[in-house]
A = this chain, B = another copy of it.
Amino acid sequence: MSISDEIKQSSFKNEETKAVINLIFTGNFLVQRQQAFMKPFGITMQQFNVLRILQGQKGQAISVLSITERMLDKMSNASRLVDKLFAKKLVSRVQCKKDRRALDVYILPAGSALIAQIEVHLDEFGKQISQLGEENLKQLNELLDQFRASIS
């Protein structure tokens, strides 16, 4: 379904406006899909994102600030997200010895297990997308990077 049909708008002022709307719409679309994926596992997309960041550390600790830097949406509160994950016993956290302001956050085995479980589903999702073809995807990624770069 083209963006025109999705939002029932027959024409756009110009290709730039259309791209902006198309990008926001597609981003929302993906967020909603991912949220739906996560829901049965009792976790939000943002929480999953944090878990994945921790997983990427391969056992090393990471501070709340570093988590924020790696998050897709830097506005959301990493401190509270870690809180939620802690409450679910998916992560642990201890005061950093080198800097007592900071927290060392680790993923727990239960967290890793949850990620693994969810990633099976995400792989299915990825397979569908791969229909687009590697070349098209690379081009898309490049255009997205260029797009953001065009905006000061």
* Chain A residues with a Cβ under 8 A of chain B: 1-3, 6-9, 13-34, 56, 69-73, 75, 122, 125-132, 134, 136-141, 143-152
Cross-chain contact A148 with B20 (CB below 8 angstroms): no
User: Which chain B residue shows the least CB distance to A129?
Assistant: B16
Q: Is the CB of B147 within 8 A of A132?
A: yes
Whether B141 lies near A139 (C-beta < 8 A) is no
Q: A3-B145, A26-B27 are in contact. List 11 more A-B contacts (CB 8 A).
A: A1-B145, A3-B141, A9-B70, A14-B126, A15-B138, A19-B137, A22-B145, A24-B30, A128-B151, A132-B143, A132-B147
Q: Check A146 against B151 for contact (C-beta < 8 Å).
A: no
Q: Are B140 and A143 in contact (CB under 8 A)?
A: yes
> Hey, which chain B residues are within 8 Å of A2, CB to CB?
145
User: What are 11 contact pairs spanning A and B, CB under 8 A?
Assistant: A1-B148, A3-B141, A3-B145, A8-B69, A17-B122, A19-B140, A20-B126, A22-B144, A25-B27, A128-B150, A128-B152
- Do the beta carbons of A139 and B143 come within 8 Å of each other? yes
Q: Give A1 to B148 CA distance when docked, in angstroms.
A: 8
**Chain B hits for A143, CB < 8 A:** 132, 136, 139-140, 143
Known A-B contacts A32-B75, A75-B32; A144 and B26 likewise in contact (beta carbons under 8 Å): yes
Asked if A151 contacts B134 (CB within 8 A), the reply is no
Contact across chains for A151 and B139 when beta carbons are under 8 A apart:
no
Find out whether the CB atom of B141 lies under 8 angstroms from the CB atom of A19. Answer: yes
